[in-house]
Amino acid sequence: MKYNVHLYPVFKVLVENVEAASLTEAIDKAEETDWAFAPMDYTEGHHCFLVDVVGDTDYSKSQWYLPDGETPDPMVDEIGIIREFLALYKKHPARGSDWANFHRRVKQQLGVKDEG
């Protein structure tokens, strides 16, 4: 099997001489700058990983992993479920079989058993 692996390395970016009234305002202002051209260093480790299965065009088999590279990231899965739900809802509140398939998948991922 082949996989596409997205590495999210941790970089340290130095934004110098940020003028601000507080430490947290300095963070906000630093994020607003064009920091892509600031001095940057790679630090040990990765923030997370995303692994896609080659050929899985709807990314239903994709999985996010925590920095250890072994533990699936449950929070990202939940956020993905919520985003997918909202995207479908915005398009059409009742999407027929697409909606039913999505609903079934959400229940499976959350471990909800069908009644009856």
Average pLDDT taken over every residue of the chain = 78
Report the candidate in 103, 78, 74 with the shortest Cα–Cα distance to residue 88.
103
Q: pLDDT band for position 22 (50/70/90)?
A: very high
User: Looking at residue 24, what is its pLDDT?
Assistant: 92
Q: Which band of pLDDT confidence, cut at 50, 70 and 90, is reported for residue 21? A: very high
Domain ranges of the chain: 1-72, 74-116
- Residues in contact with 78: Cβ distance below 8 Å, sequence separation at least 6, in sequence order: none
At a CB cut-off of 8 Å and minimum separation 6, what does 47 contact? 8, 9, 10, 67
